[in-house]
Chain A
Amino acid sequence: MKAGLSGRNVELIRRLRDYAVLIVLLAICAYLAVATDTFASIRNLANVSEQISVVGIVAMGMTMLLISANLDLSVGGQVALIGVVIARVMNGVGIWPALVAAVLVGLVLGLVNGLIVTRLKVNSLVATLGSGLAFGGFAFLASGSQPIVLADRALQAFMSGHFAAVPVPTWIFLAAIAFSAWFLHLTVGGRELFAIGANAEAARYAGIRVDRVALIPFVFTGVFCAFAAMILTALLNTASPNAGAQLPLQVIAAVVVGGVSIAGGRGTIFMAVVGVLLIGVVGNGFNLLNIDPTYQNIFTGVIIVVAVAIDSAMRALGARASAPADSADPAP
Chain B
Amino acid sequence: MSAGGGDVVLEVTDLAKVYPPATQALRGVDLELRAGEIHGLLGANGAGKSSLIKILSGVEAPTSGTIRIAGRGHVAFAGPSDALGAGIGVVHQELPLFPNLTAAENVALGQQAGGFLGGRRRREVNAAYDRIAASFPGAPPADTMLEAVGLQGWQLTAIIRARMTNARVLILDEPTSSLNPEERRLLHANLAEVARSGTAILYVSHFLDDVLDVCDVVTVLRDGKRVMSRAAEGLSEDQLLHAMVGEGKRGPAKRSGGVPGDTADGLVVRGLRAPGIGPVDLDVPTGACIGLYGLEDAGCAEILRVIYGLLPGSGRIAWRGRPLRGDTRTRIEAGIGFVSGDRPRTLIGDWLVAMNYGLVDLGSRPFAARLDRAAERRKAEASIAALEIKGRADQPLRTLSGGNQQKVALGRWLDRSGICILADEPTRGVDVRGRTAIHEGLVRLCDAGNAVLVRSTDPEELVELCNRVVVLVAGRVSRVLSGEALTTERIEASTRTKVRADGGVPLGAHP
Contacts and interface: CB of A to CB of B under 8 A. Distances in A.
Interface of A: 3-9, 11, 183, 185-192, 194-195, 198-199, 201-209, 213, 216, 265-266, 318, 321-332
A219 to B, nearest CB: 11
Contacts of A207: 327-329, 331-333, 360, 362-364
A208 B363 contact: yes
A327 B19 contact: yes
A11 B351 CA distance: 12
Nearest to B364: A207
B378 interface: no
A152 to B, nearest CB: 36
A206 B360 contact: yes
A92 to B, nearest CB: 35
B51 interface: yes
Contacts, number: 167
A192 B367 contact: yes
A195 B367 contact: no
B363 A205 contact: no
B255 interface: no
Closest 4 CB pairs of A and B: A189-B367, A327-B25, A207-B363, A322-B398
B261 interface: no
B329 A208 contact: yes
Contacts of A5: 20
B358 interface: yes
Contacts of B363: 192, 206-209
21 contacts: A183-B368, A188-B367, A188-B368, A198-B348, A202-B345, A202-B348, A205-B328, A205-B345, A206-B359, A206-B360, A207-B332, A209-B329, A322-B349, A322-B398, A323-B60, A324-B25, A325-B400, A326-B46, A326-B50, A329-B391, A330-B391
B365 interface: yes
A12 to B, nearest CB: 12
A51 B63 CA distance: 54
A187 B19 contact: no
B70 to A, nearest CB: 26
A206 B396 CA distance: 18
A203 B359 contact: yes
A192 B364 CA distance: 11
Contacts of B340: 205
A191 B45 CA distance: 32
Interface of B: 17-23, 25, 45-46, 48-51, 54, 59-61, 63, 224, 308, 310, 327-329, 331-333, 338, 340, 344-351, 355, 358-360, 362-371, 390-392, 395-396, 398-402, 404-405, 431
A3 to B, nearest CB: 4
A330 B329 contact: no
Contacts of A3: 59-61
B400 A329 contact: yes
A327 B50 contact: yes
Contact of B369 (A7, A188, A322, A325): A188
Contacts of B346: 201-202, 205-206
Given A4-B19, A6-B20, A188-B367, A330 B350 contact: no
B362 A195 contact: yes
Given A187-B367, A207-B332, A324-B25, A332 B46 contact: no
Given A189-B367, A322-B398, A205 B338 contact: yes
Given A191-B358, A323-B59, A204 B310 contact: yes
A322 B368 contact: no
Contact of A198 (B25, B51, B350): B350
A11 B23 contact: no
Contact of B367 (A202, A216, A328, A329): A216
Contacts of A9: 20
Given A187-B370, A209-B329, A330-B390, 14 more contacts: A7-B396, A7-B398, A188-B365, A189-B366, A192-B363, A202-B346, A206-B332, A265-B350, A324-B51, A328-B19, A329-B399, A329-B400, A330-B391, A330-B399
Contacts of A205: 308, 310, 328, 338, 340, 345-346
A318 B348 CA distance: 13
Contacts of B355: 191
Given A207-B328, A324-B51, A6 B401 contact: no
A327 B48 contact: yes
B441 to A, nearest CB: 19
Contacts of A203: 359
Nearest to A186: B371
Given A188-B366, A205-B328, A328 B345 contact: no
Given A322-B398, A329-B400, A6 B49 contact: no
